[in-house]
Structure 1
Amino acid sequence: MTGAAGYVGRYFAQHWQTEDELILGDIYPNPDDPRFITLDITNPAQVRAAMQGVDAVIHLAKQADEGPMEGDELNGKRFDVNVKGTFHLLEAARDAGVKRFIFTSTVMTVLGYEAPQWVDSDAPPRPVGSYALGKQLCEVMCAHYAREFGMSIVCLRIPKPIDLEHPLWKTQPLRPQWVPFPDLMQAYQKALTAEIEGCEVITIVGESSKRRWDLSKAEKLLGYQPRVLPEELGFEMGSEDQPIPAESNYA
């Protein structure tokens, strides 16, 4: 699991309750967790060493700044980490004979489909901003490695995951696409074992009365079914561009 010390990785590392033996990789490993190894995905030799003996990859690592922010320095980091880093991982996974590769894409790759348009699970990309463009390029790479080398790859287009236990969300409206962490983890765990050949692009979002992202492919191929319904639990659903509090307030 790359990016295991990040926002999503920390949750997965803490709550992952299966018989899988997790190897947690991050450029800033948690010294208190013996499952961690130091892993810089921009370092090809380090990636190849970490991949030995691995059956599956859950690729969560990314350059931390999301959204439409642009600039030469930021975009350089995005491409170095998100695009080149993913290339290094795919190359190493191919060489090591990894059986399943799960790439974390983003619903921002289809942000160009404006409301109220329905968005298919694997809709052709319409990215907005360099972050989403980089993720689209990674989806292209994943399809290439599946086609040319017979790898089994699942690209999950996800929105921001949220921990509904955090008190902030009792007063802050939620974006309808956001997915509660338990449902997101369900999707990744099912993606590890689903019978999938080649490369499949699958959207995972939370369930709400305002959902316009198709989940039928996730339901069919993964057996995914949202189990946490924020509106039924009393959470307020805002707009798709609802302001997001600084991550330090909830991460």
Structure 2
Amino acid sequence: MKIVMYGAGGPVAEAAIAALEVQHTLRLCDIRPPSEPHPSLKGDATGNASRWWPSRPARRDHEFRQVDVTNPDQVRDAAEGMDAIVNLTVVRPDPVMAFRVNLVGAYHVMNAAVAHGIRRVVHTGPEVIIDHYWHDFDITAEAPPRPGTNLYLITKYLGQDVVRSFAEVHGLDVVALYFHVFQPGDAPERMKGASPFLVSWADTGRAFQAAVEAPPMPNAYEPFIITGDLPHGRFGSEKAKRLLGWHPQDRFEGHWRRPAVRQGI
């Protein structure tokens, strides 16, 4: 399958590329050229990448296009000849660019899908349901979204609504993956305040592979919570298991399981 990926320079893209490049042809698009890596992936003063970011085996050569997702012509041209779209673009802190990338950029990506007859679009976003459901359990992706007033959450929420509208009006097949916290599955350190909405980088990559390769969805816009199987039971990935065939492998036992200490009598 030929896949165009927007926002291909960030850490989530690293995980997605590692899983997709084995069996698919990728066209990677980002506003930064490959010679200018994402700030999160530059590493420390010694040049070592942060051990908390995803690692990939030996990099393969992929077609690259420098694309500004706020430019509709560049976005549309990059999607020509592709079978599927993966949109990973995001801006968080800037109040102008957050709307231009997270909302208007999503509009341009969906217009490109329609223009080229691409039905499978994998959209990504944050858990706009999480902030107001902390005391609930068994929360699904269908819970009413409550992004609040956080710039990042509200702009991504508006972008999701644009994607949903395009999917329903034009009969597209959109898989929307919702994430919260990422960590390496084999990280030895314990991190305080481990999230009940947590997934490993390897499982993240497998989620993208499943989203691209899954059969047609029941609805034009189908959202999924992507989290590991954690004992909290607040957020579940049952729908992703059922419709995408995605089963998380990393359970982060180090966060919540401790060996029993036997004491003598």
Bin for the TM-score computed over the shorter chain: 0.7 to 0.9
User: How has the CA–CA distance of structure 1 residues 10 and 62 changed in structure 2, closer, same or farther, with 3 Å as cutoff?
Assistant: same
Q: CA deviation at 1:157?
A: 1.1
Q: How does 1:1-251 map to 2 (within 5 A)?
A: 1-31=5-35, 33-65=61-93, 74-128=94-148, 129-165=150-186, 170-173=189-192, 174-194=194-214, 195-196=216-217, 197-231=219-253, 235-237=254-256
Letter in 1 for 2:221: C
Deviation at 1:165, TM superposition (A): 4.5
CA-to-partner distance for each residue in 1:51-101, whole Å, 9 max, x for gaps? 111110111111144xxxxxxxx2222111111111011011110111300
The corresponding residue for 2:49 is none
Letter in 1 for 2:15: Y
Partner AA of 2:196 in structure 1:
P
Q: Displacement, 1:15? A: 4.5
CA distance in 1: counterparts of 2:233 and 2:128, whole angstroms: 15
Percent identical residues: 29
Partners of 1:177 and 1:207 within 8 A in 2: no
Which deviates more, 193-202 or 44-53?
Answer: 193-202
TM-score of the superposition, structure 2-length normalised? Answer: 0.78
Label 1:188 to 1:228 Cα distance change in 2 as closer, same or farther (>3 A): same
Quick check: 1:110–1:124 contact (8 Å CA) kept in 2? no
Unaligned runs of 5+ in 1: 66-73, 238-251
Question: d(CA) in 2 for partners of 1:206 and 1:170?
Answer: 18
- TM-score (structure 1 length as normaliser): 0.82
User: Aligned in 2, Cα 1:43/1:17: closer, same or farther, shift over 3 Å?
Assistant: closer
**In structure 1, C-alpha distance between the alignment counterparts of 2:26 and 2:208, rounded to whole Å:** 13
Q: 1:49 to 1:144 in 2, by over 3 A?
A: same
Cα deviation for residue 125 of structure 1 reads 0.4
- SS of the residue aligned with 1:118? coil
Secondary structure of the corresponding residue to residue 57 of structure 1: strand
Tell me, in whole angstroms, the C-alpha distance in 1 between the residues paired with 2:129 and 2:104.
18
Query: 1:109·1:136 contact (CA, 8 Å) conserved in 2?
Result: no
Unaligned segments of structure 2, at least 5 residues: 36-58, 257-265
Decide whether the 8 Å contact of 2:27 with 2:62 is kept in 1.
no
Greater Rg by CA: 2
Q: Match of 1:16, as an amino acid?
A: L
Note the C-alpha offset of 1:122.
1.8
Change in Cα spacing, 1:211 to 1:117, as seen in structure 2 (3 Å) is: closer
Q: Which moved more, 1:37-46 or 1:209-218?
A: 209-218
Q: Is the CA contact (8 Å cut-off) linking 1:112 and 1:126 kept in structure 2?
A: yes
Change (3 A) 1:202 1:15: closer
User: Residues 24 and 17 (structure 1 numbering): CA distance in 2 closer, same or farther, change over 3 Å?
Assistant: closer
Shift of 1:105: 1.6
Aligned CA RMSD, in angstroms, stands at 2.1
Distance 1:14-1:225 versus aligned 2 partners, 3 A rule: closer
Relative to 1, partners in 2 of residues 1:187 and 1:11: Cα closer, same or farther, differing over 3 Å?
A: closer
Q: Is the 8 A contact 2:84 2:212 kept in 1?
A: yes
Indicate the SS of the match to 1:236.
helix
> Which structure has the highest helix share of the two?
1
Q: Distance in 2 between matches of 1:23 and 1:34?
A: 6
